Amino acid sequence: MTVLLLDHVAIATPDLEAGSAPYVALGLNPEGPDEDVASQGVRVRAFQVGETLIELLMPTRDDSPIAAFLARKGPGLHHTAYRVADLNAEMARLRADGARFLNEEPTPGRAGSRVAFLHPKWGAGTLIELVEHPAGGHPAGGHG
C-alpha cells in the first residue's frame, strides 16, 4: 500500500479572508501563519480537520496557475493531494503504469514538503498532487 492519507484539499480563492469565512464558521482554525509557496505563485492558509488540511490558495502573481484557474472558473475546489512516503519511488511506479506528471521533477510545496502534480487527464478530470513531507514534518502530527 503506497498511499497513506489525504494530505489536503486545495481551494482557489481571490481573497484569503473571504475564502476563510465558511471554515471559521464550521469551527476550524488556521494552522499557523499564511505561507507563500513561490514555486506555485500562491499564498496558502491551511485549516486542519482531522488528519487532512483544507488549503486556501490565493495567487500572488499574475502568471500563477491559480490566477489562471480563477479567471477561467472562479473560486472553488482546485485539487486533492495524497501523502506518500517516497515521492520519487511513487512517481517512478506511476510512470511505469503510464501516468504523466505536470512537473517532471518534484518541486517545493508548503511546510518543507516536496510535491508533484499528475496531469488532469490522468485524474479523469481532477488535478491530483502527491506530497512527501520531510521526516517528522507530518502536518497532522507534531504541528497540529
Judged by the rule CB under 8 A, the positions of this chain that interact with a copy of itself are 1-6, 9, 11, 13, 18-19, 21-22, 25-28, 49-52, 54, 73-80, 82, 94, 97, 99, 118, 122-126, 128
Closest to a copy of itself by CB, 53 or 111: 53
Q: Which of 21, 14, 10, 18 is nearest to 68 (CA)?
A: 14
Q: Tell me the C-alpha distance between 8 and 37, whole Å.
A: 15
**Burial classification of residue 73, based on how many CB atoms lie within 10 Å of its CB (0-12 exposed, 13-18 middle, 19 or more buried):** exposed
Closest to a copy of itself by CB, 62 or 97: 97
Closest to a copy of itself by CB, 38 or 77: 77
Distance between start and end Cα atoms, the chain: 25
Pairing of strands 107-108, 3-12: unpaired
Q: Report, in Å, the least distance between residue 87 CB and a copy of itself.
A: 13
Q: Report, in Å, the least distance between residue 63 CB and a copy of itself.
A: 22
Q: Report, in Å, the least distance between residue 105 CB and a copy of itself.
A: 20
Closest to a copy of itself by CB, 27 or 136: 27
Q: Tell me the C-alpha distance between 14 and 18, whole Å.
A: 8
